[in-house]
Each structure stands twice: as structure tokens, then as C-alpha cells.
Amino acid sequence: MKYNFNYLIDKIAASEFDGIPFKHIYIENFFSDEHFEEIKNSEEIASPNAINDKELIRGLQDKGFKVIGFPGCITNIKKYIKWHSEKKNVQHNSSCEGFGMVLRLYKFESPILSALNAFLIGDEFNKAIADKFGITFANCSIDGGIQKYLDGYEISPHPDIRKKAATFMVNINPSDQSESLNHHTHYLKLKPIRKYVQTFWDGNQNVDRTWLPWSWADTVKQQKKNNSIVLFSPLNDTLHGVKADYNHLITQRTQLYGNLWYLENPADKSLKWESLDLQGLVPTTKLKHKAIKLIPSSVKTNLKKLLRLNERGSRNI
């Protein structure tokens, strides 16, 4: 059977941008009912029968999934199973409390999934995304696939690194109860007292963006609807995150996921969130301009000391 997914391109092209909490596209009922039911009920997407984590991972591998390196996750199966059974607070990133595991589908038995995967990583679909966000497609590479995210998967609020040009996520969860589960993407905005972080990123375009603690941002909405897609081009305000806490033996968070990556990385430096922790600072417009002027592009000097020095004791940092 031949599948035609070009109507998805038309939906993206015709969609309007939503500006809350940042510029993005959100479309419900992305796939036709016929296509979505076939995708959701395919053998690969259906949950394997498992009574423990080891059986679950083996069952997913038998379906054609492979563990992949992914932000907020580890690839060591034994280490993941041990952590998940003990649920100890082992940090994979200092802004998170735990970690998860992600598997991507590489072996396709269902014709619709084979056709869909080829479409998702094809030039036509990704060029449509690039065009929608004003990105030069020739300057990008494509990455994407069908993925399952196990319990514990956590990536704290972050705007995405500067090398990422665009990203999309489509919920294709196999369970009809998936919307009530705690594994969905949060879309957030910085708390007023932390807005200086965005000011810093605005003024230092060569410094990469980083993960931030959950306490620094507020969730505005979540992408819970099945058969919904979110697309955006990362900017300094595109904060999103996930903290999965659910029973993955019954069902798994499942998505179509993809990115466009710039061939050239615009960032040549990085700064962890700890160096951006200016507790008690309520930035004024005047202070924001001062911060941009005072912080050198090399970011060789500690940010906190710089602001303390130039505020001349007018504020406690």
C-alpha cells in the first residue's frame, strides 16, 4: 500500500504561530483519523508484554527499537535498571533529579511506519519546516525517528542549544489513557527574578544555552493531546522540559521526533546554570543594559563577580 503524507506539509504551511509562552506551532489531529489509528495500533508501537524493566527493554528491542544516546538519558541498560529499581536520587545533570532511557525504532515491519519514517527524514517535509521558520534548509542536516521514552526521563527547562535550527514532536502514544499520565512536555517561561538569564543569552550569542533548574521557570502549558504536534525554532526564550514519572510497563511515552541542525555551530563557548545563579537579583531595564555591556563575549570572568563589582554594592547578588 502506498501512503501519502503530503497533507501534513500543507497543515504546517497553513498553520498560524502561537506566541504563548514562546513562538511555536501547535496542531491537534495532525494525522488523519485513518492514519493515526493505523500508526497507534501497529505492532511496533504497541506495548510489549513485560513484568519488569528487563523484559520491557528486551521486548522493545525485539520490536526493532535500539537504545540511543539522548539528552536526559543514559545508554547503559544495567545501570538504568538498577537505578530504576532503587529510585535513588542519582544525578545525570545537576539541574535534574534522575535520568531515563530512550529507544528509537530502526526495524520496520508495519508498512505505514516504514513509509512514515522515510517521510519524516526526507527533504520535502523538513524543507517545509525550514521554510515556515525562515531557515535556510541548505545550511542544515536532518535527524529524527520514532522513539519511546522510559520512566525517569528528565530534561529540565532549556531553550535548546544554538546548533539546533528547528524541532518537532508528535504524540503517538499507544494508550487511550496517555493524556492523564505524567510524561508530557512542559512549555515554560522564566520567572521574573530569572529573566536576566535570557538577557545574558541575548547579549552573548556565541555562548551556548544550558539546562536550568525547574524552580527557575513556570509551566504555561503541556502537550498532552495524542496526535498533536509542536514545532518551533529554538530561541533564547523557547523553554521546554520533561520529567516523566509513570508506569512504563503498561504503556510508554511514544513520539515522532525530529530536528534540523545547523551545519555550523554558532556557539563556541558554554556556561553552566550554576554560573548564572544570581540569587535575589530583580533585574531592572537599566541593569539589563549594564549586564550586556559588562559581560565580555569570552565569558572568561565569573558573571556573578562582574555584576557585583559594577553594581557597587547597590544590590545583593
- Are 158 and 204 members of one domain? yes
- Do residue 288 and residue 149 come from a single domain? no
Residue 91 has a pLDDT of: 57
Supply the mean pLDDT for the chain. 89
Q: Is residue 122 part of a domain?
A: yes
Domain that holds residue 286: 271-311
d(CA 212, CA 191): 12
CATH of the domain at 37: 2.60.120.620
Q: 262 and 275: one domain?
A: no
pLDDT tier at 1, thresholds 50, 70, 90: confident
Asked if residue 296 and residue 156 are part of one domain, the reply reads no
Q: What is the pTM of this model?
A: 0.86
In a domain, 14, yes or no: yes
Model pLDDT, residue 269: 94
In the block, residue with C-alpha cell 535570557: 198
Residues facing 186 on adjacent strands: 222, 241
| Overall average pLDDT of the 298-311 stretch | 51
Query: Does 127 reside within a domain?
Result: yes
pLDDT at 98 (0 to 100): 67
List alpha helices for 63-190, DSSP H: 77-86, 111-120, 123-132
Total count of domains within the chain:
2
Q: Are residues 100 and 130 in the same domain?
A: yes
Q: Is residue 37 part of a domain?
A: yes
Q: Is residue 1 part of a domain?
A: no
Q: Give 198-234 pLDDT, tens digit per residue.
A: 999 999 999 999 999 999 999 999 999 999 999 999 9
Q: Is the pLDDT of residue 289 over 70?
A: no
In the chain, the N- to C-terminal Cα span, in Å, equals 64
Q: Is 196 found in the same domain as 305?
A: no
**% residues pLDDT > 70 (the chain):** 84
Q: Are residues 187 and 277 in the same domain?
A: no
Using alpha carbons, select from 285, 134, 283, 301 the residue that is nearest to residue 204: 301
Is residue 30 within 8 A of residue 229, CB to CB? The reply is yes
Tell me, yes or no, whether 176 and 291 share the same domain: no
Same domain flag for 297 and 224: no
Same domain, 114 and 127: yes
> What's residue 72's pLDDT?
85
H or E stretch at 56: helix 53-62
pLDDT at 144: 95
Residues 40, 113 share a domain? yes
Answer whether 116's CB lies under 8 Å from 256's CB.
Answer: yes
Q: Are residues 135 and 61 in the same domain?
A: yes
Distance between CA atoms of 83 and 79, rounded to whole angstroms?
6
Domain assignment present for residue 316? The answer is no
Q: Nearest CA to 65 among 105, 29, 94?
A: 105
